[in-house]
Amino acid sequence: MSSNSNDTSTCVALIMGQKKLFCGLTVASVFVLGFYQLALRPALPDDGDWSGTRDVPGVLLQLEQKLSENRDTSSSSNYKPGADLLAEDDISSNRSTSDGYEPLKKIYPELYEKIPKTFHKRYKNPCFMDHESKKLRCLPYFYLVGMPKCGTTDLWAKLVGHPQVIDVPKEPHWWARRRNGWTKTPIHQGQVNRVRQMTKMKDDSSIEWYFNWFEAFAGSQLKKNKEAVCGDGSVSTGFMSLENWRGNFPGSKEPPFSLADLMYTLQPSAKIVFILREPVSRYFSAHLYNGGNGTDSFSRAARSTVKCMQKCLEEYSDRFCAYEPSCNQVFRGMYIIYLSDWLKAYGRDQVHVVRLDDWMDEPVEEYKRLLDFLELDPISDEAIRRIVKSKVMNSQSKKKKSAGAVSNSTKKLLQDFYRPFNQRLAALLNDNRFLWDYG
């Protein structure tokens, strides 16, 4: 994902991959850093103190910790958008996989033992030979991580239409759910049972299960075509926290590490894709998908969940409330929280963001941009048009038509709630289209 901003006054040093682009310091930036040195530094936690929020190197990210703490008691109604844009703008292209991540290696030793630091150079997809099992083991080349009800199913269906992308089942839900003991099969029941027979374990939590998923549905094609790739389209990956973070890091006010951090240390070259939708329509679509029967029930749900989230935000940080969801669907539209964590882990060069509006209006151009980001072989515009003109997947158009329009009062309630998060998102991405014209 690239930024079109020409304003170099808002950053100190933006590290893009292995290239360093040094940006000018304005008087305001110098003042902020001076304030940090004089007022904040003595209060920052020591390296071994997990009562803070995040052990990530860099002066600006330490400053973000204090900014986050300062807004712990702020409600969404009086939160000032842009208060932490300094931290959100300090997102480098990559971080060293050894910086500050040692606790993760102690909590998840199996992952670091079973997943190698390097992969087979002959394969475009990340694969390696497991000398114990004598099998070729593979992980996804890319992750379509969300968000739910934002068009991921349609984007996935078109993406696997590219000749290089293997059509594996979209959502194994391993990183965020099965790895933690979840065994449900809302989708892919037959495929899940097939992999269970291969793994022969009581649940789906082992990395062997995940390896077997790609062996079962992509292994033979990857062996035949070393330029082929496969992905993981589990939408739970984008918004769920690491399990038991409060038990693993006592005293933490919010998750010290994200799932993105864990995955980055294990697969630092993975490519991450988000597709985002105007958050009120996303919420309404999720409401209908999960059994809501119309606009009246949606209005009741909206009032209840906004009240719930506002109460949470009065006591805790927005990041805590987003990752400890007790307020049903409303939190999933707080895109800035999740996207910031993925950008801080993987960097701007490895995270690509698509707006659903653009995907629907200009699918050919968006498809070409996506292929470029994924470094897949270009195909003709005619071939792309054949792929993207197929039926829109999982659109729920009939449900929406029968449900009717969302009331103006409910729409305003939700727009007022999401507005500050949209403003931060638009500033982070340097793209005002992510304001969704709330006014």
Q: What is the pLDDT of residue 90?
A: 45
| Contact between residue 406 and residue 294 where contact means Cβ atoms under 8 Å apart | no
Mean pLDDT to the nearest integer, 156-180: 98
Q: Which of the residue ranges 86-95, 101-110, 364-373 would you say has the lowest mean pLDDT?
A: 86-95
β-partners of residue 330 are: none
Mean per-residue pLDDT over the chain, rounded: 82
Cα torsion 139, 144, 149, 154 to 10°: value is -100
Nearest to 413 by CA among 312, 322, 305: 305
* Residue with token string 């497991």: 130
Q: What is the pLDDT of residue 354?
A: 98
Q: What is the pLDDT of residue 99?
A: 62
Q: What is the pLDDT of residue 402?
A: 73
243/247 Cα distance (integer angstroms) = 9
Q: Which of the residue ranges 29-33, 124-128, 378-382 would you say has the lowest mean pLDDT?
A: 29-33
Reading the block at residue 27, the tokens are: 């008087």
> Longest Cα pair distance anywhere in the chain, in angstroms?
63
Per DSSP, 294 falls in state: S
pTM of the model: 0.79
Cα torsion 378, 94, 423, 142 to 10°: value is 40
- 62 pLDDT above the threshold of 70: no
322-373, pLDDT tens digit by residue?
A: 998 789 899 999 999 999 999 999 999 999 999 999 999 999 999 999 999 9
Q: Which of the residue ranges 94-98, 189-193, 209-213, 410-414 would you say has the lowest mean pLDDT?
A: 94-98
Residue 404's pLDDT band (cuts 50, 70, 90): confident
212/206 Cα distance (integer angstroms) = 10
Q: What is the pLDDT of residue 24?
A: 38
Mean pLDDT to the nearest integer, 173-187: 96
Q: What is the pLDDT of residue 439?
A: 63
- 66 pLDDT above the threshold of 80: no
Residue 204's pLDDT band (cuts 50, 70, 90): very high
Q: Which of the residue ranges 327-336, 378-387, 392-401, 414-423 would you say has the lowest mean pLDDT?
A: 392-401
| Contact between residue 184 and residue 171 where contact means Cβ atoms under 8 Å apart | no
User: Is 247 exposed, middle or buried, given 0-12, 13-18 or 19+ CB atoms closer than 10 A?
Assistant: exposed
3 state SS of 271: strand
Reading the block at residue 19, the tokens are: 């290239």
| Contact between residue 423 and residue 435 where contact means Cβ atoms under 8 Å apart | yes
Q: What is the pLDDT of residue 134?
A: 92
Q: What is the pLDDT of residue 170?
A: 98
| Contact between residue 144 and residue 231 where contact means Cβ atoms under 8 Å apart | yes
Cα 256 versus chain centre, distance:
16
Q: Residues of the chain with pLDDT > 70: what percent?
A: 77
- 54 pLDDT above the threshold of 50: no
Residue 414's pLDDT band (cuts 50, 70, 90): very high
3 state SS of 274: strand
Q: What is the pLDDT of residue 391?
A: 80
Mean pLDDT to the nearest integer, 307-326: 94
- 119 pLDDT above the threshold of 50: yes
Residue 191's pLDDT band (cuts 50, 70, 90): very high
Nearest to 196 by CA among 186, 176, 210: 210
Strand 231-232's sheet: what is its strand order?
231-232, 142-146, 271-276, 351-355
- 147 pLDDT above the threshold of 90: yes
10-35, pLDDT tens digit by residue?
A: 332 333 333 333 333 333 333 333 33
Q: What is the pLDDT of residue 98?
A: 55
- 88 pLDDT above the threshold of 60: no
Mean pLDDT to the nearest integer, 407-428: 97
194/94 Cα distance (integer angstroms) = 37
Q: Which residues make Cβ contacts (< 8 Å) with residue 188, sequence separation at least 6?
A: 169, 170, 171, 172
